Structure 1
């Protein structure tokens, strides 16, 4: 027994406060700068979106969301982004199908093209969000600045601070960043206590979230009808809807390498991206204008009137948005997959409510989002957080935790919606 105890490595000592205090100021600066860049890109994209989808069609006497205009605009967006990817230095970064939230450190020359491609995508209507490219840009900028201003700091700290700051700004709270970092640390051996490792990233995430909150006031609460005390029927509904959402999203994940391979065979961004734009335009014609863009504003419109569409209309929007996410992520548009996945989950949850009115809208929405996000992101804590944040009901949290279990069994160990360089899916 004594020998066994002697063989055990002593626990790592906690980092003293004096080792953590110097990280506070750099983390605060990173948080503010990362948030400002996100807000700037989002604002420019919204201004361009108003021009493309309001001012221009009104001036031409064309319906803003007519089938003709949606097909024309999405095709034109594919051409514009294709030109950037073709001609910009660094080709607007790596193939977005091969990247996730954990961004590589890109050369600075790549960043202008990546930012331009992202703004054009956000304004033009493809079903992707800003998270992946904005994280990549912030990581590159913070890494470059950090190495020059504080060369003695460990190089690995800057990407973590930039990612945490951007995620905090995206969700308006540092909680999502803390959960994501904790999940990442659980997957690898780290030195010292957990809170020592997340201290500086949490400062950066808090600064990013506060900057976004003060300047933009983001909110994920959909304002759904309040949910009371759960019963056995709610538990059954939660488990079924989350599992269906996971299975539905896994169908898109399974198809991802094949759809990506089909666009890759076109061998040129000026062919792949316009072709993707045409397909997205046709999908928008099928699903309606709510299936355009990253989906956050459109989710609010759906949730504002859960009885405003039939079950068939909700189901159509669910499938069309998922297909649009699959196509946009496969053909080369620069963007992330979290926000359109949220739309898919919300539409699925409202489909369940329309089919079975006894399913409370809050339960349907939260568990639908949970199941879809688990399959698309493979991030358990972030999926739980986003699902809970949408309904802002403490009573739903226990149901979400239970519903996540069968959904996770359906997705764990299976292909992810991210590819290797050779086009095969990461597991």
Structure 2
């Protein structure tokens, strides 16, 4: 068979986006995506509420229940070891791989099969609730996509794969609708990560945007009903900032150069450790949990701060870090960056969760350290640090700019030029750095759905 196409053959016509939008089938999918957004958002809200309750109970209340007057300094050690054991058991014993390995980078698009959903949820709970340094966004994307695909298959068993994919994507949009502070931010993250582009962008994106908007309303309604919170990232009470200066642009260039180097080290640590995890998962993953706990205890012992600054994704600790961290000694901020980065790399190698929030936290800590530089202020330094660190870890430049600026609320307009400079520099440097050492194990991992997030 000739491998070269016949140049005289007529080109296959591409679908007309307007014709697709006008079709009855698309309107049915749009309606279904909006309806599915409600139960998926409720499930996502319940998952986040459970994670929040477990973190509070296990790390704050349980020591008192067991008779301790205060939380012992060594308390994270058994919890992180248990986290490693539970995550290892989920990955080895349950169908699929309990979600996408985060050391392979952030990925979106696709969905796990129904039988893989328990592994995704349980491994994520063991990771997030017991202190490993990963975020909830990847498990929520997988959960939303899997529930959306399951719903449309239950409603209509013979649904075409394209319809299943669109509704599953809408489920993912709904699940992360308010996690990053805005439905648009979550939608943009999924859009850029999945590579949606071209004339059909609006066709594929519209159901997801609808589900995301409905999901955001559901989150707000559940917050009003339960009083548990929206579990949405927000940075309140930031100092006012109005005008960037030439010195700030120069420091933005420097931060844009520095963040890719730190991100390369984090990824290299994950890649170096991962083969040992793969070979002896049930032994190595609890040991990594103990190492993460040791980093948190070391930081707390040296600085007098809480171990929670190093543990967890950093989503809850980020606002207080930005508000209080500027008053910390510079050495304490530097130790936090070191311990959080090491714990982040170890978590990427073996646990299950997303890379977004730890990258934001490390970037914000770098920004706090940079705010001590002459001519640099806290708000632009934090914005530049978050943007440059996110693009260095995620390789999503547009999303990284939005993450760093939208969260700064009223200061966003003034900070955006600095963030753009840092993100562009960091993205270019990241692309020119060599691949971190360590053998890629994508083909050696246990089989799973190719679209598992």
List alignment gaps of at least 5 residues for structure 1: 1-6
Task: Name the structure where helix makes up a greater proportion of residues.
Answer: 1
Match of 1:279 among 291, 304, 307: 291
Matched with 1:382 is: 399
Matches within 5 A, 1:384-423: 384-392=401-409, 393=411, 394-412=413-431, 415=435, 421-422=442-443
Deviation track 1:83-103 (CA, whole Å, cap 9, x = no partner) reads 433444446346453473325
**Superposition TM-score, scaled by structure 2 size:** 0.82
Partner of 1:364 in structure 2? 381
Structure 2 residue 265 is matched with structure 1 residue 251? yes
How far off is 1:47 after superposition? 1.6
Give the Å deviation of 1:182: 4.5
Q: 1:77 Cα shift?
A: 2.2
Distance 1:423 1:407, change over 3 A: farther
Instruction: State the partner residue of 1:123.
Output: 129
For 1:112 and 1:387, the matched residues in 2 are separated by 33
C-alpha deviation, 1:71, in angstroms: 1.7
CA distance in 2, matches of 1:337, 1:90: 20
Match of 1:4 in 2: none
Report the counterpart of residue 300 of structure 1 in structure 2.
319
Q: Within 2, Cα distance between the matches of 1:72 and 1:208?
A: 36
> Is residue 77 from structure 1 mapped to residue 83 from structure 2 by the alignment?
yes
More displaced 10-residue stretch of structure 1: 80-89 or 198-207: 80-89
> Deviation digits for residues 383-425 of structure 1, max 9, x if unmatched?
111111232211111221222221111112654899551479x
**CA positional deviation for 1:293:** 0.9
Aligned length: 412
8 Å Cα contact 1:118-1:334 kept in structure 2: yes
Deviations 1:245-269 (A, max 9, x none): 222112212333212123223x2x3
> Does residue 101 of structure 1 match 2:119?
no
Equivalent residue, structure 2, for 1:319: 338
Structure 1 residue 205 displacement after superposition: 1.9
Q: CA deviation at 1:10?
A: 8.7
Deviations 1:42-69 (A, max 9, x none): 1112222222112221233447654311
Q: 1:328 to 1:234 in 2, by over 3 A?
A: same
Q: Give 1:367 deviation, angstroms.
A: 0.8
Q: Which residue does the alignment assign to 2:355?
A: 337
2: distance between equivalents of 1:270 and 1:233? 50
Contact 1:73 / 1:124 at 8 angstroms: preserved in 2? yes
Structure 2: gaps (5+ residues): 1-9, 224-228, 301-306, 446-453
Distance 2:341 2:99 in 1: 24
Q: Helix, strand or coil: the match of 1:168? A: coil
Contact 1:170 1:209 in 2 (8 A): no
Classify the secondary structure of the residue corresponding to 1:297: coil
Matched residue SS, 2:250 = helix
TM-score relative to the length of structure 1: 0.87
Deviation string 1:231-286 (CA, Å, 9 cap, x unpaired) is 11121222222331222112212333212123223x2x321221111111111112
2:171 aligns to what? 162
Q: 188, 192, 207: which is aligned to 1:200?
A: 207
Offset at residue 134 of structure 1 (A): 2.0
Please say if residues 140 and 172 of structure 2, whose CA atoms lie closer than 8 Å, have aligned partners that are also in contact.
no
Distance change (3 Å), C-alpha of 1:318 and 1:135: same
Distance 1:184 1:85 in 2: 24
Q: 1:82 to 1:254 in 2, by over 3 A?
A: closer
Does structure 2 retain, via aligned residues, the 8 Å contact 1:101–1:131? no
Alignment partners' CA distance in 1, 2:342 and 2:150: 37
When residues 98 and 239 of structure 1 are mapped into structure 2, their CA distance, relative to the original with a 3 A threshold, is closer
Which residue in the other structure is 1:3 paired with?
none
User: Matches of 2:42 and 2:256 in 1, distance apart?
Assistant: 35
